[in-house]
Structure 1
Amino acid sequence: MIRWINRPWKQVIGYWLLSKNDNSSLTHEIMEETVVKLFEVNLIVKALICDQGPRNQGMFKKHKMTPTKPFFKVPGYDHKIYFIYDPPHLLKSIRNNLFKKHFKYDGGYARWSVLEKIFSLSKESPLHLIPKITERHLYNISNGDKMSVSLAAQVFSKSMYTAHLVYTTIDASNFPEDDTTGKMIWDLDRLFDSLNSRLERPILESLEKLNYAISKDSKHHEFLRNMIDKLDKSSFVQNKDSDKARPPCLNGFKITINSVLQLSEELRVEYDIPILKTRQLNQDPLENLFATIRQQHGCSVNPSPKQFESGLRHIFITQLSKLSNATNCEEDQNKIFAKLSKIESATILIPVKEFLNNKLSVPSIMNNFENDMKRTKKSEFTESNAVYYICGYLAKKFIKSHNTCRQCVDYLILPRENKSFEDYKLFTLLKDCADANGLKYSSKILFDSVLEWEKTYQSVIKNFFHLKKISCYLNPVLIDRTPKFKLCTEKATNAFINSFIKIRCFWEARFRRRAAKSADTNTKQKVKKSKMKKFTNKNTICQKVKKVIPSNEAKNIQPSEK
């Protein structure tokens, strides 16, 4: 498959069916022949993107490329072809290595156990600080989940980093002294944004996010060069005293970073392309093509050659298949360049929003927090931070879905320039420093009301959760508990409270399903272990009997004696 760098187009140009016994030289010959044919039709090939399979790594070695010189040329054409490993595969490889080993990073060690600790601390509150993270992300990860890019990206996300920063500040004794898990999460999140950017320019210049295109003066250059130095000094170890190991994904990131930086420079100088959206430099379209072909034949994991050919032909003619939600990658926003039937595709527009600059930095927030933490109990801290964050979410949803007057808007949220520090605002303030996209700061009266609603909800939900139209029962109870909360009309007040009930019940049901699923999984594992234990005991008894009775004597024993 080929994909345009500066256009939202993709095109399947051929396929080859190879067996495991075919050597890698055949793959290399096919690839070089394909590149030559593309040059012959006046298409300029600038990058070769693949995963880190043995054959692909063999191609890198065959052309004598190095991390600092990650390109090659085909005979007869003076064009550099940059070698890029698929960034989502590299991120999953880092995650998979972290399961069983410590990651020596930036002067300390990043550990998977620290991520599990953050998750367990978040679960202590009915409202989690990291609600998207589940047992599926951290425990008993199946082979299918190991292939999912979204699960790995959510583990190494700004929300996880913020939660880590909050919990280490509350009680650093819960974490190792040489812990650099937070630094690793922050750097990997920004690295993945840099290599997976889709925006043309940053939403807000003051933010540290790098999910926009690489240009001549963008912040990517300094950050990516620093990441090369950090990855060069990093390694995986079983424990502090064991030997260091450098899996291919670490060098793969170095090669990919150098290729992206050199490619962006060449495109800018020689082809007058000022920006490079790195989202175009991965193999998501190919992964999604395979996923669509598999689902056309009963979700066959390993389709036969005939099924593959039939599925590919169907996609090429009609492009009517819809990508499954369970696929490993996000849906790529590319259109097939040439197909036999012309079906119009929806145009995707990315709105560019204007936000005010942040006035609080992370160091000033942490200094204020250390001064005010003494008056807040640690057991109440997580819940109050989660409630305040949800208050802003509630206000944002309500304002968006209702024709809210200016009076109600001022009643529910604070202007961004008037935000002040309170200990229950720590999580929201830290999230705001990383990403201001859509965050709202709720008023004090809204925070106090939602805090009271949450306490009331926890006390009565067991009696009402099984009923239909639960809002009819909960609404009057919540109104009685917070008589001071009043919007411009009684109808608006009831609508806001019903919005809280709807969202809260949704999360309650979601958390209960997770708990039930986790308990069911544990029960199945216990039953499986019990069956395996019985099976092992039977084999052990049979082996003992064979040892006690010699084979010659066993033949002469009657069946009844046996």
Structure 2
Amino acid sequence: MRRNKEWRYDSFSVNGHNIIPLFDVPHLIKGIRNNLLNKNMTYTYNNEKKVVKWDYYQMVYGVDKAYGELRLLNKLTEEHVNPDKINKMKVKTATQLLSHSVAVVTEHLTARGDLPQECRQLVDITILLDNLFDSLNGNSLHIPNGNIYKGPVKNDSPHHELWQKSKTVLKTVKFIKTTGVGSNIRLVETTVPSVANLIKTIEGMEAIWRILIRKYGFDALLTRNLNQDPLENFFGNIRSYGARNNAPNTMAFEGAFKALLLNNYNMPHSKFANCESDGNKCLETLDFFLKETYPNSPNEIESNIMLNNDILTQNLTHVDAGQRNYVCGWILTKCLKNIVKGCRKCKKTLLDYKDSNTNNIFIKRKEYINKRWLCYPSKELENCFHDIQNITQSFLIEKDVLKSGIKTNISTVLNIMVEFPFKCYIHKEELRKYFISQCVNILINSWCRSINRIISGKIKYLGDDETKKAAQEYYNKRKHYKNKK
């Protein structure tokens, strides 16, 4: 710095100690997302130059949102793709957008013809950034669901090949911005610090691994341990203790530190924070001396089940791009784990071993590697879930939805109207009850979550559901008050 030169090595020395700088990867991903909002990104992948526009992500969200209650990208909202609603400081929305799921759904929808082919250009760079995020943020000694980059770094792990390939691709990344006004408008290629620092972080991680394996004989490294979230959380607790104090003096810092020690760092973790809650604990909290808890006995609630005959005759149709089977497969996973276990007869009926069900294509694309980690429901189970979805949706679309006992009502109708493909006499009854419970839970939860998102302005609704229409009207009447605040 004294010589006004840029340091181009992967480490520097302070008092004889080598320091290898690492940037916070989630914030780098956020920086790339923020640059995409007003610039187009170009990159070269496998000797092919590609262009990524923010409009592509908006088109993916728009098509997926049109599928109704069950979506392929159920986490995405207006806060992910609408520039006017995006919180540019929030890491979570950036990593959820630049994720494996978004890339897979984009590939799936373009193959179906629901999206223009140009949207495919975002797939490779999105998967690359997602894999980089996982490889530099891994926290598991095992490989979860086939995601090989979430596992530990080892000598023979695929992380090293990914890092080498990523550096090659990232060095070709350029952002195109528009400068000038009127007739003097021109396009200028620029590089951004987020990409350059991501390359430096990869090089720094490689340097750390070389030192750990050669000097200290490490067998594995969990890369998430090399982050600053615990330190950020600690200083955040210090600053917010008692009253907000962004610049505490030594006396205030010492007092807050002692109080936090006695209270086991029992400060609420801000939902707007850009770092995860680390869960570190030092001492048992002392506030139990001031509190006494008494077990609550559940109140018995009697409810009369009221059935509407019109509901039984409705048959709603849902546009399906594979989301129905994906949700059904998730429920099937829980059934296999908790009820079926090793029963071959049940598995033969419920699972699609021969890939004969074409609606499982999306599930296959969601796999990380060429191995079955997800459950592929059979055609019979798919039809059963479809009937459950129709009947449940028929209850929820009514103008006056019951405030209590709705799950009981739906379950009663399902037991009467739906033909279940469970043939094993050992697990038949238990499996039917469990399957109904899980299906109704997830469908009602999805419906309630959609209403909450509509009320908060995260999504817009233009359909026929009376409750959702009321939620949209509620938001439209009050959004100007929210904007003033």
TM-score if structure 1 supplies the norm length?
A: 0.67
Q: CA deviation at 1:216?
A: 1.9
Map of 1:358-373 to 2, 5 A cutoff? none
Contact 1:413 1:440 in 2 (8 A): no
User: CA–CA distance in 2 between the matches of 1:291 and 1:254?
Assistant: 29
Could you say which residue in structure 1 is the equivalent of 2:367?
Answer: 432
Q: CA deviation at 1:399?
A: 4.0
**Aligned CA-pair RMSD:** 3.4
Q: CA deviation at 1:296?
A: 3.1
Amino acid at match of 2:414: L
User: CA–CA distance in 2 between the matches of 1:208 and 1:500?
Assistant: 27
Q: CA deviation at 1:263?
A: 1.4
Could you say which residue in structure 2 is the equivalent of 1:454?
Answer: 389
Could you say which residue in structure 2 is the equivalent of 1:472?
Answer: 408
Compared CA separation, residues 63 and 245, structure 1 to 2 (3 A): closer
Cα-to-partner distance string for 1:235-278 (whole Å, 9 max, x where unaligned): 11136951012121111011111111111012111221232221
SS of 2:14 mapped into structure 1: coil
Could you say which residue in structure 1 is the equivalent of 2:152?
Answer: 213
Could you say which residue in structure 2 is the equivalent of 1:391?
Answer: 328
User: CA–CA distance in 2 between the matches of 1:386 and 1:444?
Assistant: 14
Q: Alignment partner for residue 74 of structure 1, among 5, 14, 25?
A: 14
Cα-to-partner distance string for 1:455-505 (whole Å, 9 max, x where unaligned): 233334223733411123222332343235446444542342232112211
Could you say which residue in structure 2 is the equivalent of 1:269?
Answer: 214
Which structure's CA Rg is the greater one? Answer: 1
Compared CA separation, residues 245 and 297, structure 1 to 2 (3 A): farther
User: CA–CA distance in 2 between the matches of 1:342 and 1:470?
Assistant: 42
Contact 2:80 2:97 in 1 (8 A): yes
Amino acid at match of 2:320: E
Tell me whether 1:515 sits opposite 2:454 in the alignment: yes
Q: Alignment partner for residue 131 of structure 1, among 66, 71, 74?
A: 74
Map of 1:119-518 to 2, 5 A cutoff? 119-125=61-67, 126-140=69-83, 145-171=87-113, 174-176=116-118, 180-202=121-143, 207=146, 209-238=148-177, 242-297=187-242, 300=244, 302=246, 304-305=248-249, 308-316=253-261, 319-324=264-269, 326=271, 327-332=273-278, 335=280, 341=283, 383=320, 385-402=322-339, 406=343, 409-410=346-347, 413-414=350-351, 418-420=353-355, 422-434=357-369, 439-463=374-398, 465-486=401-422, 488=425, 489-490=428-429, 492-518=431-457
Amino acid at match of 1:242: L
Could you say which residue in structure 1 is the equivalent of 2:305?
Answer: none
Contact 1:161 1:185 in 2 (8 A): yes
User: CA–CA distance in 1 between the matches of 2:224 and 2:214?
Assistant: 21
Contact 1:105 1:230 in 2 (8 A): yes
SS of 2:152 mapped into structure 1: coil
User: CA–CA distance in 2 between the matches of 1:436 and 1:141?
Assistant: 41
Q: CA deviation at 1:431?
A: 0.9
Cα-to-partner distance string for 1:336-389 (whole Å, 9 max, x where unaligned): 7xx6x588xxxxxxxxxxxxxxxxxxxxxxxxxxxxxxxxxxxx8962511101
Compared CA separation, residues 528 and 449, structure 1 to 2 (3 A): closer
Kindly tell me the number of residue pairs found equivalent between the two proteins. 422
The percentage of aligned residue pairs carrying the same residue is: 24
Could you say which residue in structure 1 is the equivalent of 2:36?
Answer: 98
User: CA–CA distance in 2 between the matches of 1:342 and 1:456?
Assistant: 50
User: CA–CA distance in 1 between the matches of 2:132 and 2:35?
Assistant: 18
Contact 2:135 2:151 in 1 (8 A): yes
Contact 1:213 1:276 in 2 (8 A): yes
Map of 1:57-68 to 2, 5 A cutoff? 64-66=6-8
Compared CA separation, residues 470 and 117, structure 1 to 2 (3 A): same
SS of 2:22 mapped into structure 1: strand
TM-score if structure 2 supplies the norm length?
A: 0.77
Compared CA separation, residues 497 and 173, structure 1 to 2 (3 A): closer
Contact 2:72 2:105 in 1 (8 A): yes
Compared CA separation, residues 162 and 100, structure 1 to 2 (3 A): same
Compared CA separation, residues 524 and 408, structure 1 to 2 (3 A): farther
Compared CA separation, residues 241 and 401, structure 1 to 2 (3 A): farther
User: CA–CA distance in 2 between the matches of 1:301 and 1:139?
Assistant: 33
Contact 2:39 2:53 in 1 (8 A): yes
User: CA–CA distance in 1 between the matches of 2:147 and 2:439?
Assistant: 32
Amino acid at match of 2:19: I
User: CA–CA distance in 1 between the matches of 2:274 and 2:156?
Assistant: 34
SS of 2:269 mapped into structure 1: coil
Q: CA deviation at 1:419?
A: 4.5
Compared CA separation, residues 72 and 419, structure 1 to 2 (3 A): farther
Q: CA deviation at 1:130?
A: 0.9
Q: CA deviation at 1:411?
A: 5.8
Contact 1:381 1:424 in 2 (8 A): no
User: CA–CA distance in 2 between the matches of 1:384 and 1:104?
Assistant: 29
Compared CA separation, residues 447 and 71, structure 1 to 2 (3 A): same
| Unaligned stretches of 5+ residues in structure 2 | 179-184, 286-316, 458-471
